[in-house]
Structure formats: structure tokens, C-alpha cells
Amino acid sequence: MQQYLISFLIFSPLVAAFVALLLPAKHVSSFRYLTLLTNVIQILVLILMLLSYDNSKAIQFVEQQPWITLNLGTWGILKATYFVGLDGLSLPLIVLSVFILCIATISSWTVNQNVKGYFILLLILNASILGSFTALDFLLFYLFFEFMLLPMFFLIAIWGGPRREYASIKFFLYTLLGSIFILIVMIGLYISVHDPNASGVLVHTFNLLYMTEPSNFISNTILDPNNPWMIGPYNGRLWAFLLLFVGFAIKLPMVPLHTWLPDAHVEASTPISVILAALLLKIGGYGLARIALPVFPEAALYFGWLVGLMGVISIIYGALNAMSSKDLKRLIAYSSVSHMGFVLLGLASLTTEGVTGSVYQMFSHGIISAMLFLIAGVLYDRTQDRMINTYSGLSLKMKSFTTMVLIAFFASLGLPGFSGFIAEILVFLGAFRSNSATGILPESFAIIATLGLILGAAYYLWTLQRMFFGPFNVKGHISEDQIFDLNTRELCMLVPLAAATLGFGIFPQPLLAIIDPFAKYLTEFVLTTGKNLTLNL
Amino acid sequence: MPLVSFLLSFVISEKYSWIVSFTAPFLLLLGALCAAFVFFYLPADQHYLREVLWFKVSDHAISGGLFVNNLSGTMLLVVNFISFLVHVYSVGYMAGDSSIRRYFAMLGLFTFAMLVIVLADNLLLLFVGWELVGFSSYMLIGHWKEKPQAATAAKKAFIFNRIGDAGFLVGLMILWALHGSFNINDWSSPHAPTPWQTAASLCIFCGVIGKSAQFPLLSWLPDAMEGPTPVSALIHAATMVAAGVYLVIRIFNLFTPASLDIVAIVGTTTASIGALAALGQNDIKRILAYSTISQLGFMVTALGTGRPDAALLHLFTHAFFKAGLFLAAGSIIQSLHQAQQQAHTHFDVQDIRNLGGLRKKLPMVFLVFIISGSSLAGLPLFSGFLSKDAILTGIVSWAGGSVSWKWFLAAILVGVSFITVMYTFRMIWTIFFGDEKRTDGLSIIESPIVMKAPIIVLALCSLWIIISWNPFMHTRWTSPGLEHHWGVTTFSIIWVVAAFGVAYILRDKSFQARILQKGFYLDQYYQAITTNIGLKMTQLTAWIDRDCIDGLIHATAYAQVLIAHVTGWIDRALVDGTVNGLVSFVRGVGTVTRSFQDGKIQLYIFWSVFTIIIFLIWAML
């Protein structure tokens, strides 16, 4: 029974979407309740899974079914399986996804235009997000990964702000470019990897676990570790790592591939921004940790400094841009860029602390960024204006809102007691120790990255000072009665998130106990395998 | 064992004390009693340690532990006691404030964070308390949110602290890379000095510079005076700024000789800047703030000269007399505010130029100012004298017999203690002696008992008795290890009396040099740096984002559209053109051939005849 739980998580929203398709579009609220019901069921299933999850084992809740088996004659057999499972990397992200999706549904309650279509797309998005976090077959992962684009594109393009067409097309093209890079690598891997358990026949497989084992590569194929072919300065495997890196970095997003993010966030409606920031960005980091690092360990060692450097650049550059933003949502979007830089820095360090911190940062940023975008949404719902300069002294009129803003801002700038602090300190410790432990990143990276902390404090406090302190005043066409405090529905969304970021900040051990074995395994695997493989340069 | 667990429960309950604001002082009293209990019943030279697992990464467990020894016991007592007094005082001072709940909550959190620093057994936990102190001081300084200056000052305080904290964090990273542990007790034995160790200690000292307002990160402290006065007392007396000094004492073994020299230089610079700037201020709270900076400089210098116990002693005495001075100043401000409201006049009550002759109207505050001020100035019979004496003794023995740059520092510090007497005297003289100025004719009532009582207690604690029975002997009953030098003591007495005389002669002179008033223009420099570099950088990145990256993307998009147009044209002109040409050719042919048979009988006959004729001609040829 356990092995079907993941499939249940993935397919229950699809079933719900199908039911929603049959319901008449007139019954607007039925779609909302149906989606919420699905979310609640998912949460219950997830709790069931958490209860039986065993920290000491590697991949659990595995389900493997034959999916595509094509006999290509002399080219061997193409084999893709429906292969899902959870480990210390995916479980935190699944927990995050299920809860954030539920909050996004609550936040979507105010959507009034074409409700049926909206919720059906939301359910499809739900399924594909959960699918890509659990898939252990590259083709399956790619399918879910690509499938996410479609509902997202329409959710921005139809229910977005004034420049929604521009933003959605930019988002779509950027991500599609990344997908193409990933597709190229996937095809290369498919050609190069065979199933070691198949007897006699050559079976090309998409199984990600097989791909991590260097002995499973067919000799003299393009991605075979021992093949001598060079393409320009590097061999095929280094190129493949770079392609994967760029592909996932677009999603992350990493500077300079990030400009789709501010536009998409500014134009997307609040729940979509929440999903985008809290979940979709994490797939970039997830992909690096799940595919790029273990499949190409020697390339990860070789290019580790580059990944770390881009992380540091993202941290500083994103923070500087956040400071110059005049739009609250844009500021938050850039702060996301800055915070996702920590994910890169931690992964690149290849120390247990660094990788653990990196996964912890993905989780914590999911909570905090969801909170930040909900906050921006609260203000936008009231006044249709997100410009920072429009407001001042909001704390006098919106007391509990200001409390939530304080929590979110200080959590985001890494105050101890909030989850972001644990994540960032671990990343810093790992990145600094990297030179003495693995020799990948120089100490200066971690030192420069601390600048990001100062800048983070600066832009958040500056915003607080401008928007919330001082005498109450609003500019433009906004009347004073438009400014009122949080209602129950908004509190229902914000309070659990605030509690979560506090809880994981004060008691990090339960989550760390899940992540840590994975981080340990990954770093040891990449270091030992990577050092055994020779670099043909 | 039950002792510390009781302590724990108090720490937790204190955080929730704001539910009813009246419970806050009571809980603090409880805390202070506990601390006193711990302090007096903990056997000397023993420590108590209690650890729980906080979290674990790979094989390194990071614990959250409480550690009590003589040192932290002393700090525990000071922090709790002064925090308790400030709580009591606040009940009077903040009465009627609309957000008193938040005020007491933050005061509680502040004390809690400070206790975390005091009791933490590892540096990471200490760092947590360290940052939380920064956060709660941000909230407290910015308590009057509707005042824009308060928000600015709060932001400045937090960011300055953050800059120092970034350094602290780097220090933590170095230690982690070196030892794989944050446990303070692991380093209890002095290590052989390595460059990394020096770097680590200096990085952590960066945090101290930020928190304890040392040069160059000192200008946030005077600005932080925008907060409520009890907060200033708490921050400037026993807690926030003292945290830096405490930290260095706590991890003193980590500091290498090279880094200690730098610490001493920073401390001396700060002491002189603070004292000189205090001389040029007119706002009563800013004078006290700069004097705090100067006194902190003294403490840090004592640390740099390898006298952590002297620094602790001064920290201890300073906590009492400075808290007393601040609370007394707050009491003046509040009394005058109330009088102003009754008389419907308005002037800046914090500007000492507007005050004068208040000794008759506020006799109690006057007395407190005399006692605590004398202690600050370091007059004999007061606690400040003894602790400064200890510091000076330490410096003299540090500088050694030969003349070196160390004597230069010592000379500066002696000069600074001279200036200390002068600014203290000037402040007291202007406020309490002479003729009444703007306050003339106002009916001034002294503060209520809840405010008076703490002030009196603090003033009493500024007497010599708090340290030792002998008013000229600083070897204290709790830490007898401090050396004592009668020569230095005699010199200090003469020196201070001389300074007192000079101050009396110069009593009506004011020191209005702009450089002193502006605190050596440090703020202007920072402003210039942030606007010139910081804002330029943000503009630069915004430009890169908008014009370079997005520009490139738009350019490729346009290029693509252009190519699409070109291919579209090719499609239309060439491919379609060929096809269309073919079509029209075929159509033309078709039209011609169709015209052969368009249903007209005459035409058919014509064509038939024509064909037959042609055929006949061909056949005939």
C-alpha cells in the first residue's frame, strides 16, 4: 500500500481536474472547494507518509512500473519506467509543495474570472510539481518538468497584470531554452547509459540511479567517462554538465539568467507568484542536486568554483537590484534571486554543511518567499498599487499586517530564530570550509557573500522605514478607507507560514535529520566518484 | 541542578510576560533574585554547564547549552538587576503609551537575548543572542514609529550592527574550519598563535566594534537616543554595548598578541573620539551617549592590554552609574515635558543650553547626577574611580619600562580621563547651577516613586562600597587577582582633582567646534560612502539588468522578429513568388486552353475547321 502513496499524491489533483472539467462552469465555488479538498487530502496522505518515513534509509516509497519499452532492433531497447521515490532531498520539498499549494488555493479564493479554467490549471500544476520532485526516471522528470510550463504560462497570461503577455512569453521562452539544454543532455545520457540488469540485450535506460554509476556508461559513447573525444576545450561530459547547469540555473534563477523572474512576478497574481517563488524556483536547485552533481561528479568538482562564483554574484547582484527596486513585488523577486544564490553556493561547496544548508535554504525560502508575496498581495488587493513610495506609516493603520511584515522581513534577512538563519549559516560554514575540506571554493567566496547579509538588512529596513514607519500617508488616488487590517482568510494563510519559519528556525533538528543523510551521501559520492574519474583535458 | 532549570523556566516565561504589562517587572524581579541566588551560591572557581542538542550536521553536534561561572554569574546579576530597575522605571516613564505591550515585550526579548549571550556555552548560540539583541534594540529604538528620526536611527543601529555581525560571522566560519566546533570551553587552553587564529579573533572583534560602538562604527549610538530614555539606559548601561566587551572577556584565550594590540589601538581611538565629541554636544542624551562610547573605549583598551578583569570591573561600575545617569536624565525630560504641557510652552528640553538652576526644583535628580556623574568622572570615593584605576594600572604595567608606542596610548587615555571630568562637570553645571533659563516660571514636579526608586538604587550602587570596603583599593572581594599600584592611585587622585579645578575654571566656556558637535564628521563620511558607492552600485546593477541583460534579450527577440520578417519576405517573394508565378503561368496556359472550349458552337466550328486546314496543309506537305 505504501508504494502507491506517491502516485496518489501526484494523480489525485489530476483526477480532481477531470472532475472539475465535468462540472458546470456556473457553480463557481464548487471548483474552489474541490481544489481545497484535494489539497487537504494530499496533506493527510503526506502526514501518513511522514509518520512512516525512516531517516536512516535512502530512497523510500519507491514505485516502479514499466512505462515505455520500445524495441529498436539493432539500436537496442528504449526503456523508460514510471519510477518515483522520496529521499532526504525530495521529502522536504514535497512537504513544502503540498502545504504551499494549499495556501495558494486559499489565496486564490478571490479569483473571479473564468474560475473553472483557473482551478483546473492549478490542479494540473499541482500534479506536475509533485511529479517532478519525486520522479527518478529522467524522461518522467522531464515530462513533469515541461508540463509545469503550460499551466504556468496560461495562469500568468490570462490572470496576470497589465503587462502579462510580455511577462508570460518571456517566462515561457526563457524556461523553454533551459528545457532544450536539459533535453540535449537527456538524449546524450539515453544514448550512453545502459541497464546493467538486462541480460544479453542492450537496454538504453532513463533511470537516474543507473546514470550516476560510471560503470553503466557504454564505452565509446558521447558521455562515457573514458572516451577521449573533445568538443572544443572540454569533453562531452563537461559540456553536458554545463548545459544542465545553465538549464537549471535559468529556473533557479541565477544571474545573469534571471530577468524573467521580476517580470513574471510583477505581472502574476498573488497565488501564482507564491507558487512560482516558493516551488518552481526550487526545481532548479533540485535538478542540480538530483541530476547534475551525481551524474557528472568529476565535472561538478571541475566546475564547482564556477557554480559557487555564480552563487556569490547572484547573492550580491540580486541584493543590489532589490535595493534599487521601487515596486514592492519586484524587490521581493530580486531578494529571491539573492537568496537562491545561497543554494548554489552551498551545493558548490560539496561539504555536508553546505549541501544541507542549501536544501534547508530551499525549504526555508519556500516558506518565507510565500509569505512575502502574500504580503505584497494583501496590499495590492486593497489599493491596486505596489509602489513603495506611495505609502508611509502603514503600521499605524494595519497593526497585525505590520507584525506579519516584520516577521517576514526579518526572517528573510536571516535573523536567528527564523529558518533562514539556520540555512544561511550552514551554507556559510560549508562554503568557508570547502577550501580546506574539498579544495573547491576559495575562502573569499564565503567572505564576500556576507556582504549579501548587510545589503539584505539594508533593503528590508529601508523598505520598512519608508512604507511602515513615519506619519501615515498615502499618495495618489487611494482613499484612507481602502487601508484596513488583515481579514481572517489572510491571517489563515500568513500565521501558519510565520509559525513554520519560526518553528524551523528554533528547532531545526527534525528537518535536518531528514536532509543530513542525503547531504552526506551526496557529498561523499560526488567526491569519491569524481576523484576516481579522470578528466580528459 | 534545580537552580539552573529554574533559571531556564524564568527565561522562557519572561518572554511571554507582555500579556499583562504589570507582570513584566515582577518577572524580572524574580529573575534578578534567581541571578543573585546563582551569583552568591555558586562556589568560586567552579562552573555549571547544562547542554541540550540543538542540531546536528554530519557528525558535528551543535548544542544549546547554559554555562555559568564567576564571570557569567556576575554579568547575569548585573543584567537582571539593571533590567529589573529599568522595567520598574518604565512603568512610570511609559505610562499612557499606546503600545506599551509591545514595549514590554521587546524589553523582555532584549533581556532574554542578552541573557543568551551571557549564558551561551558556544559561539553560535551566542551569535543568536547577539543578533536578537540587535533586533530588539531596533524595535526599541524605533518604538515611536511615527517619528521619522526614530525609524532612521533604528535602521542605522541595526545596519551598523549588521556590518559588525558580518565580521563576526566570518570569524565563526574560520573557527569552524579550524576546529569544527563552536564550543567556547574547547579553547580554554591558549593555542599557539597562527595567522588564522589572529584573523578569527579580529573578525569576531569586528562584531564587537559594531555592538560596542567602537571606532569606526560608533555613530549609531548617539542617534539611538531617539528611543525612549529607559531603553537608552538599558542599551547603554549593562546590556547591548556591554555585550561586546563581555564577549571578548569570554573568549579572551582566542586573542593572539597581535590582535590584542589592534584591540588596544581601536579602544584608545574610540575613547578619545567619544570624550572629545561629548565635550561638544548640547543634547543631554547625546552627551551621555558619547560618554558611553568613550567609557567603552576604556574597557576595550583594558582588554587590549590584557586586563579582562579590569575591563569587567569597569563594565560593572559603568553599568550602574550610566544607567543612573540616563534614568535621571529621563526623569528631567519627563518632568519638564509635563511642566511644558501645563504651561503651553515649547522648547527642546533635552538641550542643556535651555536648562539651568534646576537643583532647587529637582533636588533628588540633582543628587543622583552628582553621585553618578562623579563616578563617571572618576572622582575618589566613587566606583568609577576604582575601576578606572584598575584600567590605568593595567596599562602602566602593560606599557612596561621602556618608552614605546604603548606609552603613547597610555598618555592618550590619561588625557581622556581628564576630558571626562570636564564634560561631566560641564553638563552638571549647566543643568543644575547658574540661573534658570527657559525653565523659569514653570512649575516642575518631580517624577513618581516608581521612577525615583530605581534611580536612587542605581546612584547608591555608584559608590565605592560596591567594589571594596576600601575606597582607594580596587581589589574587589569577588575577584582578588587584580594587581594594585599605589603610585597610580595617588597620581589618579591628583590628576582628577586637577581636572576638576580646570573644569571649574572653564565652566562657562562652551566648546562649540563644529567638528566636535558633528562627532568628527563620521556620519558625513558614511553618507558619502553609501551614496557614492552603495547607491551607484544599485543604479549600476539596475542598469545592467534593464539595459544589458534585458536589452540583449530584447535585441535577440527583435533580431528574431527581423529574421522572421526576412524569411517571411523570402517566403512571399521567392517561394510564394515562384509558386504564384507557376500558378499564374499555368493559369495563363489554362486560360488560353480553356478559351478553346468555352461552349460557343461557332468557336468549335472555327477551331475544327482551323485544325482540319492545318492538318490538310501538314498532310499535303
Looking at residue B341, its pLDDT comes to: 75
CB nearest B57 (choices: A324, A352, A416): A352
Q: How far apart are CA B559 and CA B38, in angstroms?
A: 76
Q: What was the pLDDT predicted at B21?
A: 53
Least confident of A286-295, A324-333, B203-212, B595-604: B595-604
Strands A77-86 and A60-71: antiparallel
Q: List % helix, strand, coil for chain A (3-state, nearest 5).
A: 75, 10, 20
Residue B470: is its pLDDT beyond 90?
no
Q: In this complex, do A432 and B135 lie within 8 Å of one another by their Cβ atoms?
A: no
Q: Tell me, what DSSP letter sits at residue A232? A: T
Between the two ends of chain A, the Cα-to-Cα distance in Å is 50
Q: Would you tell me which residues 531-550 of chain B have a C-beta closer than 8 angstroms to some C-beta of chain A? A: 534, 537-542, 545, 549-550
Question: Tell me, what's the pLDDT at B4?
Answer: 46
Environment class of residue A362 by beta-carbon count within 10 Å: exposed (0-12), middle (13-18) or buried (19+)?
buried
Chain-chain contact of A324 with B542 (C-beta, under 8 angstroms): yes
The structural domains of chain A, with segments of one domain joined by +, span: 303-532
Strand pairing partners for A82?
A65
Residue B28 confidence class, pLDDT cut points 50, 70, 90: low
Q: Tell me the chain A residues in contact with residue B540 when contact means C-beta distances shorter than 8 Å.
A: 320
CB nearest B176 (choices: A320, A432, A451): A432
- Using the structure block, give the residue that is written with the C-alpha cell 517573394: B573
**Cell numbers at residue B527, please?**
553618507
Q: Which of A393, A415, A428 sits opposite B169 (nearest CB)?
A: A428
3-state secondary structure of A27: coil
DSSP one-letter code for A396: G
The string of pLDDT tens digits covering residues A154-171 is 998 888 888 888 888 888
Instruction: Confirm if B223 and B153 have CB atoms less than 8 A apart.
Output: yes
In B, which residues are within 8 Å of A472 by CB distance? 146
Q: Decide: helix, strand or coil at residue A203.
A: strand
* Residue B458 confidence class, pLDDT cut points 50, 70, 90: confident
Q: How far is B548 from chain A (nearest CA, A)?
A: 10
Q: Write the DSSP assignment of A268-295 as a string of letters.
A: S-HHHHHHIIIIIHHHHHHHIIIIIHHH
Whole-angstrom distance, CA of residue A536 vs CA of residue A466 = 56
- Give the mean model confidence (pLDDT) for residues A206-224: 83
Q: Does B33 touch chain A (CB under 8 A)?
A: no
Secondary structure string (H, E, C) spanning A481-534: HHCCCCCHHHHHHHHHHHHHHHHHHHCCHHHHHHHHHHHHHHHHHHHHHHHHCC
| Best CA proximity match to A6, nearest among A107, A144, A104 | A144
For an interface test with A, which of B15, B53, B57, B176 has the most A Cβ atoms less than 10 Å from its Cβ? B57
Closest to A370 (Cα-Cα) out of A124, A98, A175: A98
Chain B, residues 408-427, CB within 8 A of chain A, namely none
Name the minimum distance, in Å, from the CA of B292 to any CA of chain A: 25
Residue of A nearest to B152 (CA): A465
> Mean pLDDT score of chain A, rounded to an integer?
87
Q: Using an 8 Å Cβ cutoff, are B264 and B209 in contact?
A: no
Interface contact flag, B155 A465, Cβ < 8 Å: yes
Q: How far apart are CA B181 and CA B190, in angstroms?
A: 16
- Tell me if A504 sits within 8 A of A82, measured CB to CB: no
- A14-28 pLDDT, tens digit per residue, is 999 898 888 888 888
Q: Considering only alpha carbons, which residue of chain A is nearest residue B143?
A: A469
**Which of the four pLDDT bands, split at 50, 70 and 90, describes residue B379?**
confident
Q: Compare CB distances from A508 to B55, B163, B165 and report the shortest one's residue.
A: B55
Report the C-alpha gap between B452 and B456 in whole angstroms. 6
pLDDT tier at B234 (50, 70, 90 boundaries)? confident
Which pLDDT tens digit goes with each residue over A130-161? 999 999 999 999 999 988 888 999 998 888 88
Write the CB contacts of B257 (distance below 8 Å, at least 6 apart in sequence). B193
Q: Do A353 and B549 touch (CB under 8 A)?
A: no
φ, ψ for residue A438, nearest 5 deg: -125, -15
How confident is residue B557, by pLDDT bands cut at 50, 70 and 90?
confident
Least confident of A242-246, A424-428, B146-150: B146-150
Residue of B98, B138, B144, B145 best to disrupt the A interface, most CBs of A under 10 A: B145
| Amino acid at residue number B52 | V
- The yes-or-no verdict on residue B296 having pLDDT over 90 is no
The pLDDT of residue A362 is: 93
Q: Where is mean pLDDT largest: A65-79, A430-444, A497-511, B250-264?
A: A497-511
Q: Say whether pLDDT at B19 is over 60.
A: no
Residue-level pLDDT at A364: 94
Chain A residues closer than 8 Å to B131 by CB? 415-416, 421
| Inter-residue contact A234 to A202 (CB < 8 Å) | no
Contacts A–B by Cβ distance under 8 A: 139
The residues that bridge with A77 in the sheet, in sequence order, are A71, A203
- pLDDT of B599 higher than 70: no
Q: Is the peptide bond prior to A508 cis by the omega test (within 30 degrees of 0)? A: no
pLDDT of residue A279 exceeding 60, the answer is yes
Q: Cα separation of A4 and A63, whole Å? A: 7
Give residue for cell 530605581. Answer: B454
Residue A288's pLDDT band (boundaries 50, 70, 90)? very high
Amino acid of residue A423:
A
Give the max Cα distance, chain B: 157
8 A C-beta contact, residue B172 and residue B123: yes
B54 at A interface, C-beta within 8 A? yes
**Residues contacting B103, CB < 8 A, separation 6+:** B21, B90, B94, B97, B140, B143, B228
CA–CA distance, A495 with A138 (Å, rounded to integer): 38
Note whether A362 and A355 are within 8 A (CB).
no
Residues B317 and B387: their CA atoms lie apart, in Å, by 7
When pLDDT is cut at 50, 70 and 90, the band that residue B390 belongs to is confident
Q: Which residue in A436, A458, A516 is closest to B57 by CB distance? A: A516
Task: Please name the member of A321, A396, A472 whose beta carbon is closest to the beta carbon of B542.
Answer: A321
How far apart (Å, rounded) are the C-alpha atoms in residues A71 and A202? 10
A428 to chain B nearest CA, in Å? 7
**Spatial distance between the Cα atoms of A378 and A488, rounded to a whole number of angstroms:** 12
Question: Any idea which of A204-208, A374-378, B470-474 has the lowest mean pLDDT?
Answer: B470-474
Return residues 514-533 of B near A (CB < 8 Å).
none
Q: What is the mean pLDDT of residues B113-137?
A: 84
- CA B437 distance to own-chain centroid: 36
Closest Cβ–Cβ partner in A317, A320, A509 for B55: A509
Count of alpha carbons within 13 angstroms of residue A464, beta-carbon side: 30
| 3-state class (DSSP) for residue A537 | coil
Distance between CA atoms of residues B365 and B371, nearest Å: 10
Query: Looking at chain B, which residue has its C-alpha nearest residue A423?
Result: B57
Q: Is A512 within 8 Å of B55 when comparing Cβ atoms?
A: yes
Cβ neighbours of B142 in A, within 8 Å: 469
CB atoms A321 and B128 under 8 Å = no
Query: How many CA within 13 A on the CB side of residue B86?
Result: 32
Which residues 6+ apart lie within 8 Å of A123 measured at CB? A13, A14, A16, A17, A20, A35, A38
pLDDT recorded at residue B92: 75
Tens digit of pLDDT for each residue in A317-357? 899 888 888 889 999 999 999 999 999 999 999 888 899 99
| Set of chain B residues whose Cβ sits within 8 Å of the Cβ of A503 | none
Is the CB of A468 less than 8 angstroms away from the CB of B145? yes
Residue B16 has pLDDT above 50, yes or no: no
- CA–CA min distance A230, chain B (Å): 30
Q: How far apart are CA B47 and CA B66, in angstroms?
A: 10
Least confident of A118-127, A311-320, B121-130, B518-527: B518-527
Neighbouring C-beta atoms of residue B37, cutoff 10 Å: 14
Cβ atoms A343, A430 nearer than 8 A = no
Question: What per-residue confidence (pLDDT) applies to A308?
Answer: 92
**DSSP category for residue A207:** B
* Cross-chain residue pair B537–A320, CB shorter than 8 Å: yes
Per-residue confidence band for A93, with pLDDT thresholds at 50, 70 and 90: very high
Question: Which of A254-258, A344-348, B63-67, B604-608 reaches the highest mean pLDDT?
Answer: A344-348
Query: Is the minimum CB–CB distance between B512 and chain A shorter than 8 Å?
Result: no
- How far away is chain B from the Cα of A416, in angstroms, using its nearest Cα? 5
Question: Which pLDDT band, with edges at 50, 70 and 90, does A100 fall under?
Answer: very high
pLDDT band at A95; cut points 50, 70, 90? very high
Whether B479 has a pLDDT exceeding 60, the answer reads: no
**Chain B residues within an 8 Å CB radius of A443:** 173, 177
Nearest C-alpha neighbor of A214 from the set A486, A507, A1, A533 = A533
Q: How far is CA A38 from CA A109, A280, B90, in A?
A: 15, 20, 52
pLDDT at residue B474 is higher than 60: no
- How far is B120 from B116, CA to CA, in rounded Å? 5
Most confidently modeled range among B158-167, B281-290, B399-408: B158-167
- Assign B8 a pLDDT band (cuts: 50, 70, 90): very low
Residue B440 — very low, low, confident or very high, per pLDDT cuts 50/70/90?
Answer: low
Task: Return d(Cα A340, Cα A329) in angstroms, integer.
Answer: 17
Cell 512537504 sits at which residue? A95
How much is the pLDDT for A338?
Answer: 92
pLDDT(B10) > 70: no
DSSP summary character for residue B377: H
| Residue in B closest to A472 by C-alpha | B146
A425 chain-B contacts, CB cut-off 8 A: 124, 169, 172
Does residue B594 carry a pLDDT above 50?
A: yes
> Measured between alpha carbons, how far is B9 from B31 in angstroms, rounded to an integer?
10
pLDDT reading at B15 higher than 90: no
Distance from chain centroid for Cα B445? 35
Write the ipTM.
0.87
Distance CA A512, CA A504 (A): 9
Cβ-Cβ contacts under 8 Å, B163 against chain A: 454
**Three-class SS of residue A115?**
helix
Residue-wise pLDDT tens digits, B169-221: 888 888 888 877 777 766 655 556 677 778 888 888 888 888 888 877 777 88
Expressed in angstroms, the distance from the first to the final Cα of chain B is: 137
Alpha-carbon distance A225 to A299, whole Å? 10
Give the mean model confidence (pLDDT) for residues B118-129.
84
**What pLDDT does B514 receive?**
64
pLDDT bin (cut points 50, 70, 90) of residue B477 is very low
Does residue B471 sit in helix, strand or coil? coil
Would you call A193 exposed, middle or buried from its count of C-beta atoms within 10 A (0-12, 13-18, 19+)?
buried
C-alpha angle B391/B396/B400, rounded to 5°?
145
Please give the pLDDT value at position A259: 85
Helices marked H in B440-534: 449-460, 486-505, 514-517, 522-529
Scan residues 96-125 of B and list those with Cβ closer than 8 Å to A: 124
Residue B506 confidence (pLDDT): 67
pLDDT tier at A129, thresholds 50, 70, 90: very high
Provide the 8-state DSSP code for B43. Answer: P
Which chain A residues are closer than 8 Å to B55 by Cβ?
422, 508-509, 512
pLDDT of residue B18: 45
* Inter-chain residue contact B155 with A320, CB threshold 8 Å: no
Asked if B150's CB is within 8 angstroms of A256's CB, the reply is no
Please tell me whether residue B270 adopts helix, strand or coil conformation.
helix
Contact B128 A464 (CB under 8 A): no
| pLDDT recorded at residue B190 | 53
The yes-or-no verdict on residue A531 having pLDDT over 80 is yes
